[in-house]
Amino acid sequence: MSAPDPIEVLVIGAGPVGLTMACELKRHGVAVRIIERREKALYHPNAAIVHVRTLEILSAMGAVDGFLKEGYPFPGVSLHAFGKPIGSIDLHGIDSPFPLPRTIPQHETERLLNEHFERLGGRVERSVEALGLEQNSSVAKVRLRYLAENNREETVTARWVVGCEGSGSLTREACEIEFTGERYTGKEFLQTDATLRWSFPHGPGYQFLTKDYVLFLAAYNDQGFYRIICARNDANPENQEPPTLAEMQALVRKIADPNAELLDAKWFNRFRTGYRLAARFREGRAFIAGDAGHVHIPIGGQGMNYGMHDAFNLAWKLAAVIKKEAHPQLLDTYTAERHPTDAALVRGTDHGFHLLVKPHVAVQWGLRLLGSMVIGMAAFQKRIRETLGEMKVAYPSSTLSKDYGGSFGPAAGDRAPDGIVVRLPEQKTLRLFEVMHGTRWTLLLFAGHQPSAVHIEALERLSASVAAPYGTRLAIHLVLCGTPPVPVHENWAEDVLMDRDRHLHDKYGVDTAPCLYLIRPDWYVAFRGGLPYQPQLAAYLGRVFT
Ligand SMILES: Cc1cc2nc3c(=O)[nH]c(=O)nc-3n(C[C@H](O)[C@H](O)[C@H](O)COP(=O)(O)OP(=O)(O)OC[C@H]3O[C@@H](n4cnc5c(N)ncnc54)[C@H](O)[C@@H]3O)c2cc1C
């Protein structure tokens, strides 16, 4: 009897990261198996915020609608320090089709991703545990235990494995990837999801800082249902019991409002934390993503979000290599891009811990004296907004980013901005993100503010020259300023996007001269250059695509 065909990709763990990975591989047309040792989804609201860039990613995946419907648009955080209000962080103002983050409990995020996976024709295999992993240069062998079948064991062969098992990752351990960091001592964190009656208006989030406590409340709605997290001195490090309603209420009363009442609590949690980062995210045919590669304090609510970004970054690359559309070296860019990004997040949360949770006396005085002034500064607000929204994540030094200037807008490696366009010939008004939806790369040929016939003809020749070899992997669009019907060259074979009020040209910083923007399937700029850089664009495409 011949051996069964290897599984193309085996994803281990159906948390938010494994589910994102499986959904994306499926969308890119790759055969994927995803296993999860838990019999049923858990009620665990842990990650309560889905940030702006994650919503953009979910829209690229075709999965954002449920999050927009069920998540609460979180408007900002009112800040109080040492008994006084010191200002607020206003989260409005991010330039995105989804400008506000959404609060939604993690188990709902997992449910929505699971439903999306099933819509794509997938199914999570539950009660299946991975026990061991070995690999050679052509396959990985994973030992599985079927918990619902008398613990039957089987060794399966997979061409690729993605370990999304959380912080105790089997894949990471089997690959002997170091996972180092620091455990914070002296502080414990208590959490609940509950309804709160108090004197503050419902709707925004709140943060209260005192000498010994940090209390953070994220609103799930404008009716008073909150995620409540309190950090305080750890009087009994052995205590693992979840806090009680009375304990949480006493904390809210002590720190924020002496008349506060807590009711209808859905969940309690006590934890101590620290940070750890894997030395790399790949070993041969095995990758790790999400908490398997990085864990840290949940300041800013980024952990799950960054994990989902890991999966989103890896999935299209793995799919392109499996489908033989790209060279295997493309896979090296996963660690190269995501490791520094996740390391920066880990460092940022560590600074956050020392600034907010365990602040030095000097920092406390700095906050007392300068806190409201700094918070009131527009530049500070913008920075916080964009950092929390994950809008500044970029891969400028990736080998996938080639930049030759040509505009005042985003450079290679930056997030590709959205904008409204009218697509010809059907004259349909669309967002650029809708135009880019799909699994292909996008080549935007900006004609400039005053397109000349010479420029249009040059762009047309360029389009024809790249469409022939790469047309199935590349969607090519001419972007023209003006209102239809601006005379478009009648031989133009690809989509034309009319940029009526030059908004898209302005967002991409394109002036009078044409500019070429190549966008990756994960909506980051791969290549930027003026018309004279056509040969470099051709060389780039030749290098990336087989
Ligand atoms: C208290 C708390 C609050 C948090 N708050 C936030 C927040 O506000 N925002 C945010 O973004 N993040 C937050 N996080 C972090 C967030 O919960 C994690 O980053 C997220 O769960 C990571 O997802 P994951 O899929 O990588 O791993 P997990 O969610 O840990 O999922 C891993 C899955 O793999 C399965 N598994 C493990 N081993 C095996 C195996 N051998 N075989 C088969 N299956 C296996 C597990 O059963 C599990 O279902 C918080 C975390 C905690 C603990």
**Is the peptide bond preceding residue 485 cis, with omega within 30 degrees of 0?**
yes
Nearest to 263 by CA among 197, 164, 188: 197
Q: Which domain holds residue 226?
A: 187-272
Residue 325, domain CATH:
3.50.50.60
Distance 340 CA to ligand 1 centre (A): 21
Structure-token pair, residue 61: 């995946």
For residues 423 and 530, membership in a common domain is answered with yes
Q: How far is the CA of 265 from the centre of ligand 1 (A)?
A: 22
pLDDT of the chain, 546 residues: tens digit per residue: 567 788 999 999 999 999 999 999 999 999 999 999 999 988 888 999 999 999 999 999 999 999 999 999 999 999 999 888 999 999 999 999 999 999 999 999 999 999 999 999 999 999 999 999 999 999 999 999 999 999 999 999 999 999 999 999 999 999 999 999 999 999 999 999 999 999 999 999 999 999 899 999 999 999 999 999 999 999 999 999 999 999 999 999 999 999 999 999 999 999 999 999 999 999 999 999 999 999 999 988 999 999 999 999 999 999 999 999 999 999 999 999 999 999 999 999 999 888 888 877 777 778 777 878 888 888 989 999 999 889 999 999 999 999 999 999 999 999 999 999 999 888 899 999 999 998 999 999 999 988 888 888 899 999 989 988 888 899 999 999 976 545 555 656 668 999 988 999 999 999 999 999 999 999 999 999 999 999 999 999 999 988
205 lines ligand 1 (CB under 6 A): no
Residue 514 lies in a domain: yes
Judge if 176 and 192 occupy the same domain. Answer: no
Nearest-CA neighbor of 292 among 359, 339, 231?
339
163 with 205, same domain: the answer is: no
Note the pLDDT of residue 354. Answer: 87
- Evaluate whether 436 touches 500 at the Cβ level (below 8 Å): no
- Co-location of 435 and 511 in the same domain: yes
Residue nearest to atom 2 of ligand 1 (CA): 46
Ligand 1 center–CA 130 separation, angstroms: 16
Instruction: Give residue 490's pLDDT.
Output: 60
54 in a structural domain: no
- With a 6 A CB cut-off, is 46 part of the ligand 1 pocket? yes
Query: Ligand 1, closest atom to CA 35?
Result: 43
Which amino acid does the sequence have at 220? Y
pLDDT at 170: 98
The SS3 call for residue 78 is strand
> Considering its fold, how many domains does the chain have in total?
3
**Residue 250 sits in the same domain as residue 323:** no
**Residues 141 and 191 occupy one common structural domain:** no
Ligand 1 atom at shortest distance from the alpha carbon of 295: 19
- Shared-domain flag, residues 406 and 535: yes
Residue 67 forms part of a structural domain: no
373 lies in some domain: no
- Cα 232 to its chain centre, rounded Å, is 30
Which residue's alpha carbon is at the smallest distance from atom 41 of ligand 1? 130
Query: Does residue 191 share a domain with residue 174?
Result: no
E strands of 340-487, at which residues? 402-403, 420-424, 428-431, 441-446, 474-481
162 and 305 both lie in a single domain:
yes
Over residues 41-53, the pLDDT tens digits come to: 888 889 999 999 9
Main-chain dihedrals φ then ψ at residue 296, nearest 5 degrees: -165, 175
CATH of the domain at 472: 3.40.30.20
Beta bridge partners of 192: 228, 268
Residue 227 and residue 160 share a domain? no
**Closest residue (by CA) to atom 18 of ligand 1?**
304
Same domain, 43 and 171: yes
88 found inside a domain: no
> Residues 403-429: pLDDT tens digits?
999 999 999 999 999 999 999 888 899
Among 336, 358, 380, the domain-final residue is: 358
Q: How far is the CA of 546 from the centre of ligand 1 (A)?
A: 36
Q: What is the DSSP letter of 524?
A: B
Q: Are 154 and 146 in contact (CB under 8 A)?
A: yes
pLDDT computed for residue 484 by the predictor: 52
Interval between CA 42 and ligand 1 midpoint (Å): 11
**Mutate which of 37, 72, 162, 346 for ligand 1 pocket (most atoms within 8 A of beta carbon):** 37
Do 415 and 510 belong together in one domain? yes
The 3-class SS string of 430-451 reads EEHHHHHCCCCEEEEEECCCCC
For 16-54, give the secondary structure using H, E and C: HHHHHHHHHHHHCCCCEEEEECCCCCCCCCCCCEECHHH
CA of 126 to the centre of ligand 1 (A): 16
The domain boundary, picked from 272, 295, 316, lies at: 272
pTM, 2 dp = 0.96
* SS3 category, 87: strand
Residue 132 lies in a domain: yes
Predicted pLDDT of residue 493? 61
Pick the residue whose CA is nearest to atom 27 on ligand 1.
Answer: 166
Q: Is residue 250 part of a domain?
A: yes
Domain membership of residue 525 (yes or no) is yes
Q: Which of 214, 247, 272 is the last residue of a domain?
A: 272
**Beta strands at 495-499 and 474-481: parallel, antiparallel or unpaired:** parallel
Domain containing residue 245: CATH number: 3.30.70.2450
- What sign for the dihedral angle of Cα 30, 36, 41, 46? negative
